[in-house]
Amino acid sequence: MLTEFHIGIDDTDSRLGGCTTYTAAILFQELVSEGFKPLDFPCLVRLNPNIPWKTRGNGALSLHFSIEEKQLEEVKKIAIGTVERTTDLAQRATDPAVVFLKGRVSNPLREFSARALHDILSVREAQQLAESVDAEAHLLKGSQGLVGALASVGADLDHDHTFEIIAYRTPENIGSTRRVSLDSVRQMDTMFQGLTFNNIDPETGRVLICPHGPDPVLLGIRGEDPTSVTKALNQLDIDESIERVMMFKTNQGTDAHLSCQRRIGALRPYQSTLVIGIVSSAPRIVRGGHVIFRVLDETGSVDCAAYHATGSLRETSLQLFPGDSVTVSGGIRPRLSGELTLNVEKLEVTSLVDTVRVENPSCSNCGTLCESMGRGQGFRCRKCKARFPRTSRVEKLEHRRIRVGVYLPPPRAHRHLTKPASRDGVRRPTPYGTNNSSMDEILESLASISIAS
Ligand SMILES: [Zn+2]
């Protein structure tokens, strides 16, 4: 009898980002080559990026297959073997957590996974859930990885999702400079605008598809659909051999972590969240060039920090005025004082107050700005010496330098989950992996990836 079978692998405390995708790529290819039928692409699931004890990427991987019940033990053996083998290969001092789940993903697991995007979940809660949904956990080291491994199995990517095609280096090249022509990346970026995203930072020209450092990832291209990212990859000039290529379905670029709106009074450290309120203090610049402004709702107020690295987002924050209405999204950090700060990842200005500047009147004869003749004495024109004893200072509407709208940091400061401006309005029509024809699509798509070197 055929059953759904799900495998989750956590990327816990990996200092070399991207390694777990490599493990998942090898495992997926191995299972497919053994004749097992995937229900979907391998999933790269980014979780709450504001948890400080997780690596920068905070991601986990899940594989979804349709398998004969009698072959489950064989698949488990392959999975654990692959994880152990690739972990050794990369010489990492870490042992990821692996979770197996037979049958459909239940609602409690879906809900757990949704909360793992924006909240802090305890290992104890993960253990209780694993028990109640009958998930089998293999913890090779600590149990912290259980949260991520379970969350990746339960991730619902059927609504908004994107794809990332990742090319891996051959072992002898790992650690050396990546030989990818930057010009070809720029050309690809132009050709595939709207279909791919975050290839290049437009302000600095920096190429964003290649990681730095000694991990096995040569490059990753993010985009809307498998075909576009595959074509984009084939467009690049790459002057080194590629060991393998894998397509991942992912929640990157979807703002999935900013979907939970909270009252300011209910904020807790390390949540990712969205608050709606009114600016209650004029922005100020603090050491390091960061801009701080305070936002108030009916339950309390919180300092919001737009860091120097957020570029234009910081500039916009500096132009806010008390009374402006805003929706602020980002991560909650505790300060030494015990107060909380919301680190701004996205700012939506929903309405601007009129600001007025009080100034001396202009001369009605020549238009020159008048000077005061003393308190309560009226004004006098400097140029034509006309006097206006009964005139007082005038209020002038000030020009607001910002408009209502959504403000984002530049791509180089994005989280993996940050939804880039180019994805605004993207709608997902049909989910993948729900019937046999899409399974064929998946295999076809993977087979069509030709390595262009
Ligand atoms: Zn005058």
The DSSP-derived string for 165-215 is EEEEE-GGGTTSPP-B-HHHHHHHHHHTBTTEE-SB-TTT--B-SS--SSS
H/E segment holding residue 164: strand 162-169
Q: How far is the CA of 369 from the centre of ligand 1 (A)?
A: 8
The predicted structure's pLDDT at residue 86: 79
Q: Which residue from 46, 82, 256, 79 is spatially nearest to 164, judged by alpha carbons?
A: 46
Closest CA to 235 of 303, 187, 271, 197: 187
**Residues of the chain with confidence (pLDDT) below 50:** 13, 16-17, 89, 91, 93, 430-437, 451-453
Distance 381 CA to ligand 1 centre (A): 5
Question: How far apart are alpha carbons 174 and 331 in whole angstroms?
Answer: 34
Structure tokens at 144: 């912290």
- In the reported structure, the alpha carbon of residue 375 is separated from the centroid of ligand 1 by a whole-number distance in angstroms of 20
pLDDT computed for residue 88 by the predictor:
52
Query: pLDDT tens for residues 213-224?
Result: 888 899 999 999
Secondary structure E strands in 311-373: 325-334, 340-351, 356-359, 371-372
How far, in Å, is the centroid of ligand 1 from the Cα of 445?
A: 77
Among residues 164, 175, 204, 15, the alpha carbon closest in space to that of 96 is found at 15
Cα 399 to middle of ligand 1, angstroms: 26
The CA 392 to ligand 1 mean position distance, Å, reads 16
pLDDT digits (tens, 9 = 90+) for 33-85: 999 999 999 999 999 999 887 665 788 999 999 999 999 999 999 999 888 88
Q: How far is the CA of 360 from the centre of ligand 1 (A)?
A: 13
Q: What is the pTM of this model?
A: 0.87
What tokens does 286 get?
């603090």
pLDDT at 390: 87
pLDDT in tens, 327-376: 999 999 999 998 999 999 999 999 999 988 888 999 999 999 999 998 88
Distance from the CA of 390 to the center of ligand 1, in angstroms?
16
Residue with tokens 């700060």: 341
Ligand 1 centre from 370 Cα, in Å?
Answer: 8
pLDDT of 56 reads 59
How confident is the model at residue 13, as a pLDDT? 47
